[in-house]
Amino acid sequence: MQMIQTSIPDVLLFEPKVFGDERGWFFESFRQDIFEQYAGCHRFVQDNEAFSRYGVLRGLHYQKPPYTQGKLVRVIQGSVLDVAVDVRKGSPTFGQYTAQLLSDQNHRIMWVPRGFAHGYAVLSETAIFSYKCDNYYAPSHDAGIRWNDPALGIDWRLPESDVSLSDKDQRQPMFHEIDPVVLTS
């Protein structure tokens, strides 16, 4: 498995070595030792999976302390644009984002550490999105940022007329309205 650095040093991409022949293919989608070599030691406590249709945009979501979450995300079927926005107070990349194409073709896996808002847009007809979390979902500490905040300037690679949002995501605050996340060791 190869690690690929993104434009934000703490957000990492992992590209597995795929072994294939006429029967199909095989790859390791997670390996603790390689993951820890680059991302440090994390204990995953919850796995989530979502099915979505073209144009569905989920995000940008994060959890406030003390329930911040790191997420290891991948696409099982289809293609998504996956986005991580740094919301860590005092971070040199605060307010910056990285956007990565994750698909069932490139098999890439993205590590989104604690202190990042996360979201994705489905670019294919359908997609199955899967992720591991290093902390449990805590609805009382749920937070988010408006997907189309001009201060962030994210190109979701979708026409705005094709974007499908939940009621919650339509009401998220703008970036300048959020309280930066203060991480504790």
Mean pLDDT for back-to-back runs of 10 residues, the chain (185 residues): 94 95 92 94 97 98 97 98 97 97 97 98 98 97 97 97 97 96 83
Q: How remote is the C-alpha of 34 from its chain's centroid?
A: 19
CB atoms inside a 10 Å sphere around CB 73: 22
**Helix H or strand E segment including 37:** helix 32-39
47, β-bridge pairs: 132
Catalytic residue list contains 131:
yes
pLDDT score recorded for residue 184: 78
Pick from 54, 62, 84: nearest CA to 137? 62
- The model scores a pTM over 0.85: yes
pLDDT score recorded for residue 131: 97
Q: Which of 42, 61, 107, 118 is catalytic?
A: 61
Q: Which of 62, 97, 120, 131 is catalytic?
A: 131
Catalytic residue list contains 62:
no
What domains can you pick out in the chain, each with its CATH number? 42-177 (2.60.120.10)
Round to whole Å and give the CA distance between 9 and 97.
Answer: 11
pLDDT score recorded for residue 185: 60
Round to whole Å and give the CA distance between 78 and 126.
Answer: 6
Round to whole Å and give the CA distance between 103 and 80.
Answer: 6
